[in-house]
Structure 1
Amino acid sequence: MLTDTRPLLEVEEVSKTFPGVKALDRMRLSLRHGEVLALVGENGAGKSTLMKLLSGIHRPDTGRFFLDGAPLRPTGPRHAQEMGIGIIHQEFNLLPDLTVAQNIFIGREPRRAGFLLDRRALDARARELIGRLGLPLDPHRRVGGLTVAQQQMVEIAKALSHDPRVLIMDEPTAALNDAEVRTLHQLIRRFVRPETGVIYISHRMAELTSLCDRITVIRDGRYVATMETAQTRVRDVIAKMVGREIGTGTRPRPAPAAREPLLTVSGLSTRTLLRDVGFALYPGEILGFAGLMGAGRTEVARALIGADPVTSGTVTLRGRPVRIRNPADAARHRIGYLSEDRKRLGLLPEDGVDTNIALGALRERFARFGFVRDRAVGERAAELVSALRVATPSLDRPVRHLSGGNQQKVVLAKWLAKDCDVLVFDEPTRGIDVAAKEEIYRLLDTLAQQGKALVMISSDLPEVLRMAHRVLVMAEGHITAELTAAEATQENVMHYATLRPGRPGTRPAPSPASDPAGTPEAGTR
């Protein structure tokens, strides 16, 4: 029940810029007393940046915050807590070797004689808090032995132990099952009183409509709209989140006629996230993977190349089962992976362009009797630098001096030198400018025309829709839909990306033998 017309928390004209990125642009937000306010937006919309500003992790460049009408200027996370702002991050911040009680009151433990830990008082305070919140936790249990859901409850108890006025929750149910979600929602409803409020960040639309009073949508770092939940349809929220149209001239050219798949994945699962992932990849095809943060797209790529251990699943390459135990195995099978973190995982920043290009095929193409053939390296590097139009004054120029777009081209050249048949691109245009993006798009299209099989993982949905012949949508480690290029609108993709797997409206996971030119299995939209 809302009892006060004055906002509990107000954000006015807040902007924040990081090197090369305008994360927030004149952002505004208003949280009422006694309200649960949903904050939604696509990946990269600015939600987490705003929350980090409110919790004192970063400071805004411009703009103001107000708590009950008084200026709010947190200088750090502890100061924000003292001022009444609590935050529960998506990533846990717990010490696994300490008990539940110790984690809840870390840095605030009761002490005897000023320095001796008073364990009895600590446990009593923890039991009182846990009982008041109705949480199924044992204060003596070591946190490292708890389930993910129980660890989430410890994070919640730790945040509420500070008696916050405003509680910010960033994807709090990402690792919870339905029963645990209901428990969490009951806890939130008990917390919300006339003097408190909650900002609830989630991609699960069904949760928002059942829990939240209003929904605020942000896009590309800007405020879009705030809507009363009871008067709002989910598809209208998604439309405001997307807010962009894809021109008909930017859709991918038709995929080649279906032949035998080059790569087939069946039943791929990992211990922590992926569940029964299956798909087929054809020569000359760009297969897009879409989904929200934490959906499992990068995990699929890492499991495919052997970087992450799998618990089950098979990979068939050129019609024969293969066992890929590590990235070196993947490279030997001519599967190349262009990581989203090119500087850490794709390049040797202090080495030259030519050295980086030769890395992937050094032993098989550029060495003889244990010695590197410098002339062969230079000739092939020069060919690829010219073909990809890498802007560098010389082949021995350290790649750290190149722009982000040119660094990405060097990573691509490395796998072209290896002559890979399958190329997995994870965030291929992250951190590069518009002109460089267009060049990368042309390169991917050219590779597909040459018969290479490409997987494209991107958080930029318009990019996926522009390039992919088919789109696989993921949520919570499952493939929830397979869409043809014609079916893959932003609204459709976001619909399947925000569904909980197995719920009504989820399309069946595609069969590994599905036809890229055909129609996916029918499902309830």
Structure 2
Amino acid sequence: MHIQLKDIHKSFGPVSVLKGVDFELLPGEIHALMGENGAGKSTLMKVMTGLHPLDEGEVVIDGAVRQFKHPKEAERAGIAFIHQELNILPELTVMENLFLGRELTGPFGVIKQQEMKRRAREYLAELNVFMEVDQLAKHLSVGQQQMIEIAKALMTDAKVIVMDEPTAALTDREIRALFSVSRALRDQGVSIIYISHRMEEIFELCDRITVLRDGVSIGTHRINETSFEEIVKEMVGREIGERYPERNATIGDVVLEVDGLIGNRFHNVSFDVRAGEIVGFSGLMGAGRTEVMRALFGADRAKAGVVKLNGTEIRIKQPADAIRHGIAFLTEDRKGEGLLLDFTLRENLSLPTLDKRAKGTIISRQTEEQFADGYLKKLRVKHHSMEQKVKSLSGGNQQKIVLGKWLGAEPDVLILDEPTRGVDVGAKKEIYTIMSELAEAGVAIIMVSSDLPEVLGMSDRIVVMREGVVTGTLAKDEATQEKVMTYATGGQ
């Protein structure tokens, strides 16, 4: 399928998101679409597939002008869209999610349960994913849910597949499986539009790349004729410098000490974090890293273990206890747990610290606005008003709001679970810089990340987990990708 997007314009109220974008997808290619958060990548794909009507321009498919009225029409035409926002129904099983809206039926409309289960296992096996298809989706990790979304797209026999940040929650093994399937599809003539902020993936997988900046298409290049530096400069309009900032923090005394923590998916976890230190947590999906952090914050109840803050034992039964003790938690699920999507940017930013914006029982609107405005500027959030709903922001800008609300709490311990997931290269550098500044100010930071270069680049120490147990701790000067993966996979 040959797709041409010509001079595409799209506005939402007073905000112009696409300002004349040109894009061409050739048959049988993997074409990367890159740009900073808010550049218009996802919006362009939603216009192409009929989720948003375009204001100006043309969508030309195989020489004919088309304008889909809704995504189902695009899907029937052979275009599948794997959205960055997961569309999993948590109370349905894996199999039911895979076949939702396209159930296999026999005589008299009887659903072929066993046939659907068999096919579900086959499609998942193509992605090297093996899970029980009868289990409810709500029991799966974010990464496992993402693999279901990918499998659903493969099941449509599409001619074009749009992948919006498909690997953000995947392990290295799952990424390798996805790349293998993507190359096989390309060889069969299927085209893939690949939206990602992971530059290494783009240069490994894709054939061509188109860069958007502020709603305008900047350029298209063959991958073997461009470079990391050139793409970054086109994305941000400036040189980005070293990817990880130079660290100057002085590591002080132990702030947080965890001893023998036990939960539903982890056992006997012990570690400590010092003032000014960034401790990275690494491991494969399902290793128990997030579960440990949720227990520390009181989002889940630990079964046993001792937690000490500045040498004094504390008991955390709920998040309010953790916040009171100066512990903040940036969750990996920003939409489900990190934000109130129908609330404004101002309301989301000030939510954990409303008591500081109040006089008695009355919230000072002026103080709240000053606070929100400060963090919107500090984090360079792309927005048109602090009164717009947070759901209207791009994924990366939503992540900045989650970070901002916890920075405003001025925590002693900051837990960051996948802090740069779905964030562009420029915003990543900004988040890394903020982390370094917080460490220099004496904050103890725990960073859970599935991005191994990020763990190695930002951590003073690395704690590795496997199947709910800590398998090793590495100092910065001894840590390598090989050592981390050895501990993560059970090697010696």
TM-score by length of 2: 0.61
The answer to whether 1:119 aligns with 2:119 is no
Farther-moved stretch of structure 1 (304-313 vs 264-273): 264-273
Of the three residues 437, 457, 474, the one matched with 1:470 is: 437
- What does 1:363-512 align with in structure 2 at a 5 Å threshold? 377=360, 391=366, 405-406=369-370, 408=372, 431=383, 460=427, 464=431, 470=437, 477=449, 496-497=453-454, 506-507=456-457, 509-511=459-461
Conserved? CA contact 1:23–1:220, under 8 Å: yes
Tell me the secondary structure at the aligned position of residue 107 of structure 1. Answer: coil
Of the three residues 50, 69, 83, the one matched with 1:89 is: 83
- What does 1:282-361 align with in structure 2 at a 5 Å threshold? 305-307=297-299, 317-334=309-326, 341=339, 359=355
1:318 is displaced (CA, Å) by: 3.9
Structure number with the bigger relative contact order (C-alpha 8 A, sep ≥ 6) is 2
Of the three residues 215, 226, 233, the one matched with 2:227 is: 233
Structure 2 residue runs without a partner (length 5+): 387-403, 440-444, 463-475, 482-492
Whole-Å Cα distance in 2 between the matches of residues 240 and 475 of structure 1? 30
Structure 1 residue runs without a partner (length 5+): 1-6, 363-375, 393-398, 400-404, 413-424, 435-443, 481-495, 513-519
Tell me the secondary structure at the aligned position of residue 507 of structure 1. Answer: helix
Partner amino acid, structure 2, of 1:408: A
Tell me the secondary structure at the aligned position of residue 141 of structure 1. Answer: coil
Of the three residues 163, 180, 190, the one matched with 1:196 is: 190
Farther-moved stretch of structure 1 (57-66 vs 262-271): 262-271
Q: CA 1:222/1:300 → structure 2, altered by over 3 Å: closer, same or farther?
A: farther
- What does 1:4-153 align with in structure 2 at a 5 Å threshold? 8-18=2-12, 21-95=15-89, 102-112=96-106, 115-119=108-112, 123=115, 127=119, 130=122, 134=126, 141-142=133-134, 144=136, 152-153=146-147
Conserved? CA contact 1:104–1:126, under 8 Å: no
CA RMSD, Structure 1 to Structure 2 (Å): 5.8
Whole-Å Cα distance in 1 between the matches of residues 43 and 5 of structure 2? 13
1:119 is displaced (CA, Å) by: 1.4
Which protein is bigger by CA-based radius of gyration? 1
Deviations 1:318-354 (A, max 9, x none): 45453433232134325578997478789997xxx9x
Q: CA 1:361/1:324 → structure 2, altered by over 3 Å: closer, same or farther?
A: farther
Farther-moved stretch of structure 1 (137-146 vs 155-164): 137-146
Conserved? CA contact 1:356–1:410, under 8 Å: no
Conserved? CA contact 1:357–1:410, under 8 Å: no
Conserved? CA contact 1:34–1:192, under 8 Å: yes
Tell me the secondary structure at the aligned position of residue 45 of structure 2. Answer: helix
1:193 is displaced (CA, Å) by: 4.7
TM-score by length of 1: 0.58
Deviations 1:461-509 (A, max 9, x none): 57557866537899872586xxxxxxxxxxxxxxx55xxx5xxxx3372
Tell me the secondary structure at the aligned position of residue 470 of structure 1. Answer: helix
Tell me the secondary structure at the aligned position of residue 186 of structure 1. Answer: helix
Q: CA 1:186/1:317 → structure 2, altered by over 3 Å: closer, same or farther?
A: same
Partner amino acid, structure 2, of 1:10: Q
Deviations 1:145-175 (A, max 9, x none): 7966765554334323332221111233334
Conserved? CA contact 2:28–2:187, under 8 Å: yes
Whole-Å Cα distance in 2 between the matches of residues 215 and 93 of structure 1? 27
**Amino-acid identity (%):** 33
